[in-house]
Amino acid sequence: MVLDQITDPHNVGAILRTACAFGADAVITTMRFAPQETGVLAKSASGALDYTNLIEVKNLATPLQELKNHGFTCLGFDSEAEGALTPDLKAQKLAIVLGAEHKGLRQRTRELCDQMVKLDMPGADQIAQRVQCSGNRLVCRNIAIDTSILKQGQ
């Protein structure tokens, strides 16, 4: 999994838990504009830091290109993407790329993704209202749901 400037340690912890549960080799994040491995992140990760590598890089472009060179398909998530996520993904090596809270993926990160997808969820208007009310907690839950959908497609 690749995280593009996700700043909330609770969200990163939830992503680490999900990555660990589904056997991801690592979670890659930026050195700047990302939470440090503090008690808050560790507690949110519920032990996942012991089993999943958290790799900090200066620039996401280099590791994204390296992943692609090693046969990974980089799948970027964006609510404005044209194509919806489908459960019939054929990629054996998949790098899930998630953007920052509220801002999403940066332009260069988008350009390096092989495909941009969105989740078509029933009641999207209701969900958007809940996001405004509940903030980042829903983001964590959605990331876990997104990842489980991807895993089912493999």
pLDDT score recorded for residue 3: 93
Q: Are 20 and 48 in contact (CB under 8 A)?
A: yes
What pTM does this model have?
A: 0.74
Query: What is 24-43 written as a DSSP string?
Result: -SEEEEESSSS--S-HHHHH
pLDDT score recorded for residue 59: 92
- Class of CATH domain 2-153: alpha beta
Q: How far apart are CA 137 and CA 152, in angstroms?
A: 23
pLDDT score recorded for residue 92: 78
Q: Are 3 and 76 in contact (CB under 8 A)?
A: no
Q: How far apart are CA 13 and CA 140, in angstroms?
A: 9
Helix (H) or strand (E) holding 145: helix 136-153
pLDDT score recorded for residue 138: 45
pLDDT score recorded for residue 88: 61
Q: What is the pLDDT along the chain (154 residues), one digit of tens a residue?
A: 999 988 898 988 899 999 898 889 999 999 888 877 778 888 888 888 888 889 999 999 999 999 999 999 999 988 778 877 776 666 678 899 998 888 889 999 999 999 898 876 666 554 554 444 344 444 444 454 545 445 444 4
SS3 139: helix
Q: What angle do CA 70, 90, 1 make, to 5 degrees?
A: 55
pLDDT score recorded for residue 90: 66
Q: How far apart are CA 90 and CA 102, in angstroms?
A: 30
44: its two tokens: 């949110």
Q: How far apart are CA 83 and CA 118, in angstroms?
A: 6
pLDDT score recorded for residue 79: 78
153: its two tokens: 């497609």
For the chain, the domains span 2-153
pLDDT score recorded for residue 129: 45
